[in-house]
C-alpha cells in the first residue's frame, strides 16, 4: 500500500476539510496527516473572523471538532511557517504539502486621506473583537460618528458590532478586554457606504435582518436610494435573496427613523447606497469627513458617477472592501490577486505557469476571499483529487518518520501545542465562562494560551 505523509499548513475550515476528505475518500493509501497553524488554537477564521454574536455560524466548529477529535490527524499549533518550519523542512519529511492559510489582510481602498489616523481596515477590527492573540489588546472607540465602506457580510458585522450596546454581547464569548472597550464606546452614529444600489448588495438577508433587531438602535435608510431602474427591478423579481433583502429594507422605510427623521434610540445606523468614496478629509492628521460621489446605474449592471459630491462628518472610517492573502516564504504568490497561483489547487510557478511538484493550495489562498464557508468543501475536493492523481510527482522525503517533526521543533525551541493541548485550552475557556452563564470567555494572550495548552 502506498504511503502518503501530508503536511497541511493552516488549521481553519479549508485545511481541516481537506484532511477529512482525503482520509475518508482514499483507501489505497496509508495516509498520515500533520496539520500546522501559527496560532495555538485551531479553526482559523471561524474562531477569529466571525463576530461573537453569531453562534449559528460558530456551530461549524462542532463539525470541525468532530474531525479533529477522531485522532487520525496530528495538530501542531503555534508553529510559524517560514520561521519555525520551512518548505525545505517539509520536503525532507513529507510527500506533499497543502497550503490553506486563508486571506486575513484588508484589501486596499485607494482614495486620498485613507492613511489618516482613525482610518482602519475592517479585518484588524474583527481580529480585535474576536480576541486574536497577535493584535493589540485595546481599540480606540472615542469617535461619535464612524463610517464603514462596503456592503458585504464583513461590513455589516463591523457595523453591527460598532452600533450594538456592549451589555447585549455579554451572552457571547466576547473577551473581557473587548467587552470593556465596547462599554466605553462614544459612538452615536454608524454610516455604511456602498457604491451600488440596494438590489446589488453582497450581504445576506440574515445579516441584514440582524441589524434591524439591534436594541436601542434606529435604522436609517433614504427614500432617494430606492428609485429602482429596470435591472434592479428584474433582480428583485428573479432572485429570492434579493427579493428578501428588498422586503427588509422597504419595511425599514416605514419606520419613524427613515430619512434621518429622528427616532427614539440612542444610536443610529445609516445605510447609504449609490455612494462611491472619493476622499477622506482630515483635520490635524485625523479623519474628519468622508466625501463620496453620488452614483447611478449604467444600465449594464454597473454604476457611473453623477458628479454630485456629498460629505458626511466622521471621526473614524473602516474599510471592508475585501480580504487579501499574504505571501508565504518560498511559495509562489500573485501580488495582484493575493493568492497562490494555481490550477485547480496545483500550485504553479509564477513566471512559467509550470506546476510546482508536491505543492498544493485550497481555500481562500487558492481562489481568493469569495464564497461562504460551505464552499470550502468542494474547493478542497478539487485539490485533493489532483493530489491523489499526482502521486508520481510527490516528494521523496529523507526522513518520513512520525518522530522527526516533534524532534525538529524541539531542537529549535518551538513551544507547539497538540490536540490534547487544544482540549485543555477549550475546557479552560469554557470554565472561565461558566460562572457568568456564558459559553466561554476566550483567552487572548498568546503566552497564556500556550501555558494552558501545554499544562504549564
- 166 and 280 share one domain: yes
Query: What cell does 278 get?
Result: 472619493
Give dist(CA 99, CA 402) in Å, integer: 20
The CATH number covering residue 31 comes to 3.40.50.720
pLDDT at 1: 59
3-state secondary structure the chain: CEEEEEEEECCCHHHHHHHHHHHHHCCCEEEEEEEEECCCCCCHHHHHCCCCCCHHHHCHHHHHHHHHHCCCEEEEECCCECCCECHHHHHHHCCEEEECCCCCEECCCCCCCCCCECEEEHHHHHHHHCCCCCCCCCCCCCCCEEEEECCCHHHHHHHHHHHCCHHHHCCCCCCHHHHHHHHCCCCCEEEEECCCCHHHCCCCHHHHHHHHCCCCEEEECCHHHHCCCHHHHHHHHHCHHHHHHHHHHHHHCCCCCHHHCCCCCCEEEEEECCEEEEEEEEECCEEEEEEEEEEEECCCCCEEEEEEEEEEECCEEEECCCEECCCCCCCCCECCCCECCEECCEEECCCCCCEEEEEEECCHHHHCCCCCCCHHHHHHHHHHHHHHHCHHHCCCCCCCCCCHHHHHHHHCCCCCECHHHHHHHHHHHHHHHHHHCCCCCCCCCHHHHHHHHCCC
- 331 and 390 share one domain: yes
**Residue 428 domain flag:** no
For the chain, report the end-to-end CA distance as a whole number of angstroms.
Answer: 41
**Residue 284 domain flag:** yes
Last residue of a domain, one of 263, 285, 319: 319
For residue 439, the tally of other CB atoms under 10 A from its CB is 16
pLDDT at 3: 85
Cβ atoms of 389 and 2 closer than 8 Å: no
Which one, of 200, 149, 112, lies nearest residue 321 by Cα?
Answer: 149
Give dist(CA 361, CA 345) in Å, integer: 5
pLDDT at 435: 93
- 230 and 170 share one domain: yes
- Total tally of structural domains belonging to the chain: 2
pLDDT at 241: 95
**Residue 23 domain flag:** yes
The domain of 405 spans 2-104+325-416
**Residue 375 domain flag:** yes
- 83 and 189 share one domain: no
Query: What cell does 405 get?
Result: 517533526
Which one, of 120, 310, 305, 160, lies nearest residue 222 by Cα?
Answer: 310
pLDDT at 369: 84
**Residue 8 domain flag:** yes
- 348 and 227 share one domain: no
Give dist(CA 246, CA 273) in Å, integer: 13
Q: Name residue, grid cell 435591472.
A: 231
**Residue 455 domain flag:** no
pLDDT at 280: 97
Cβ atoms of 248 and 142 closer than 8 Å: no
Model confidence over 81-121: pLDDT tens digits?
Answer: 999 999 999 999 999 999 999 988 888 999 999 999 999 99
- 6 and 130 share one domain: no
- 361 and 412 share one domain: yes
- 128 and 272 share one domain: yes
Torsion angle of C-alpha atoms 118, 124, 130, 132, degrees rounded to 10: -120
**Residue 443 domain flag:** no
- 127 and 235 share one domain: yes
- 336 and 395 share one domain: yes
- 263 and 339 share one domain: no
- 67 and 13 share one domain: yes
The CATH number covering residue 142 comes to 3.50.50.60
Digit-by-digit pLDDT tens for the chain (456 residues) are 568 999 999 999 999 999 999 998 766 678 999 999 999 999 998 899 888 888 677 678 888 999 999 989 999 999 999 999 999 999 999 999 999 999 888 889 999 999 999 999 999 999 999 999 999 899 999 999 999 999 999 999 999 999 999 999 988 888 989 999 999 999 999 999 999 999 999 999 999 999 999 999 999 999 999 999 999 999 999 999 999 999 999 999 999 998 888 789 999 999 999 999 999 999 999 999 999 999 999 887 789 999 999 999 999 999 999 889 999 999 999 999 999 999 999 999 988 889 999 999 999 999 988 766 767 888 999 999 999 999 999 999 999 999 999 999 999 999 999 999 999 999 999 999 999 888 889 999 999 999 999 998
Last residue of a domain, one of 299, 319, 339: 319
**Residue 225 domain flag:** yes
Amino acid at each position: 500500500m502506498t504511503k502518503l505523509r501530508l503536511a497541511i499548513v493552516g488549521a481553519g475550515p479549508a485545511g481541516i476539510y481537506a484532511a477529512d476528505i482525503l482520509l475518508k475518500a482514499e483507501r489505497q493509501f496509508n495516509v498520515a496527516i500533520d496539520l500546522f497553524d501559527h496560532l495555538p488554537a485551531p479553526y482559523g477564521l471561524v474562531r477569529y473572523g466571525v463576530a461573537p454574536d453569531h453562534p449559528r455560524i460558530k456551530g461549524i466548529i462542532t463539525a470541525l471538532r468532530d474531525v479533529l477529535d477522531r485522532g487520525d490527524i496530528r495538530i501542531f499549533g503555534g508553529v510559524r511557517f517560514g520561521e519555525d518550519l520551512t518548505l525545505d523542512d517539509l520536503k525532507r519529511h513529507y510527500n506533499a504539502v497543502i497550503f490553506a492559510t486563508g486571506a486575513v489582510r484588508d484589501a486596499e481602498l485607494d482614495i486620498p486621506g485613507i492613511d489618516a489616523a482613525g482610518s482602519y481596515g475592517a479585518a484588524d477590527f474583527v481580529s480585535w473583537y474576536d480576541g486574536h492573540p497577535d493584535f493589540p489588546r485595546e481599540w480606540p472607540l472615542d469617535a461619535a460618528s464612524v463610517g464603514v465602506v462596503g456592503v458585504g457580510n464583513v461590513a455589516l458585522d463591523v457595523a453591527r458590532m460598532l452600533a450594538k450596546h456592549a451589555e447585549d454581547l455579554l451572552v457571547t464569548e466576547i473577551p473581557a478586554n473587548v467587552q470593556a472597550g465596547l462599554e466605553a464606546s462614544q459612538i452615536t452614529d454608524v454610516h455604511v457606504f456602498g457604491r451600488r444600489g440596494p438590489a446589488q448588495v453582497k450581504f445576506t438577508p440574515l445579516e441584514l435582518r440582524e441589524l434591524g433587531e439591534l436594541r436601542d438602535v434606529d435604522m436609517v435608510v433614504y427614500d432617494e436610494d430606492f428609485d429602482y431602474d429596470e435591472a434592479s427591478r428584474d433582480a428583485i423579481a428573479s432572485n429570492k435573496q434579493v427579493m428578501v433583502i428588498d422586503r427588509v429594507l422597504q419595511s425599514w422605510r416605514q419606520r419613524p427613523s427613515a430619512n434621518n427623521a429622528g427616532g427614539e434610540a440612542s444610536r443610529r445606523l445609516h445605510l447609504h447606497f449609490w455612494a462611491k468614496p472619493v476622499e477622506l478629509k482630515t483635520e490635524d492628521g485625523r479623519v474628519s469627513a468622508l466625501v463620496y460621489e453620488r452614483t447611478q446605474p449604467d444600465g449594464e449592471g454597473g454604476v457611473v458617477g453623477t458628479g454630485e459630491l456629498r460629505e458626511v462628518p466622521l471621526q473614524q472610517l473602516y474599510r471592508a472592501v475585501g480580504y487579501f492573502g499574504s505571501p508565504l516564504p518560498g511559495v509562489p504568490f500573485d501580488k495582484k490577486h493575493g493568492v497562490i497561483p494555481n490550477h485547480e489547487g496545483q500550485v504553479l510557478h509564477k513566471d512559467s505557469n509550470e506546476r510546482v511538484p508536491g505543492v498544493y493550495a485550497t481555500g481562500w489562498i487558492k481562489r481568493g476571499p469569495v464564497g461562504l464557508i460551505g464552499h470550502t468543501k468542494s474547493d478542497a475536493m478539487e485539490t485533493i483529487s489532483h493530489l491523489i492523481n499526482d502521486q508520481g510527482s510527490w516528494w521523496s522525503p529523507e526522513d518520513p518518520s512520525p518522530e522527526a517533526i516533534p524532534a525538529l521543533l524541539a531542537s529549535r525551541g518551538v513551544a507547539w501545542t497538540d490536540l490534547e493541548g487544544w482540549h485543555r485550552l477549550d475546557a479552560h475557556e469554557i470554565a472561565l465562562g461558566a460562572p457568568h452563564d456564558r459559553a466561554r470567555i476566550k483567552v487572548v494572550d498568546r503566552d497564556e494560551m500556550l501555558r494552558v495548552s501545554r499544562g504549564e
